[in-house]
Amino acid sequence: MNRINQLNQENPKKEFKMSAIAAADLIWAIGRGNDLIYRISADLKRFRRLTLGRTVVMGHNTLLSLPGQKPLEGRTNIVLTRDTNLKIPGAVTVHSLRGFFDFAQAAADTEEIKEIEEIFVIGGESVYRQLLPYCGQAYITRIYAGELDADRFFPDLDSDPHWSGEAESEPAEEKGIGYRYFRYTNSAPLRPGEAL
């Protein structure tokens, strides 16, 4: 056994799982003008319930789209930005995918952050595209509309052979907007930090 394998066996890395969560319409639109397109209060409550007490990772634009441009309460917030001078009270900033995975792995290994076992990737488009290959599942609220003026999109999981989706709820409606919860599973997620 070489030295690195021996060290890895002596100090096995703690695992953490990654899941994406998003609300996308029939053409997978998720945003417009750095804001959400649809606001379904039942869905926002479900998002809160699923992510509360967990870790969330988001892009800087998504942070700026949140109420008060502030991190989400009750969750460990990680924000991706290339601005190394940016300080965000209540959030950890990381400056690359490698920086994100190093931080997450160190936090898991040292158990510094208890809620690191599941990290939710909460957007936006650029972060979904980069981190979806590492996610084992995606909680997708499918909104039965198609916003032609959208400028941000989630990757089309229905035409990705790695992903398969199942409905988790019956169709529902709020203020005339139909929606339904789906859970998609990735048959071959990358390991954290793989293939960077």
Name the residue nearer to ligand NAP (CB basis): 7 or 74: 74
Cα separations in angstroms, 166 against 64, 90, 170, 194: 32, 35, 11, 27
Query: Which amino acid, residue 85?
Result: N
Q: Is the peptide bond before 124 cis (omega within 30 degrees of 0)?
A: yes
- The residue range among 59-67, 69-77, 101-109, 169-177 that interacts with ligand NAP, by the rule CB under 6 A, is 59-67
- The residue range among 3-11, 54-62, 105-113, 172-180 that interacts with ligand NAP, by the rule CB under 6 A, is 54-62
| 119 near ligand NAP, judged by CB under 6 A | no
Applying CB under 6 A, among 42, 65, 88, 193 the residue interacting with ligand NAP is 65
| 123 near ligand NAP, judged by CB under 6 A | yes
- Using the CB atoms, write b or e for 127-146: b if 16+ within 10 Å: bbeebbbbbebbbbbbbeee
Name the residue nearer to ligand NAP (CB basis): 18 or 22: 22
Helices (H), the chain: 3-10, 41-51, 60-65, 97-110, 125-131
Q: Which residues bind ligand NAP (CB under 6 A)?
A: 22-23, 30-31, 34-36, 58-62, 65, 80-83, 95-97, 122-127, 130, 152
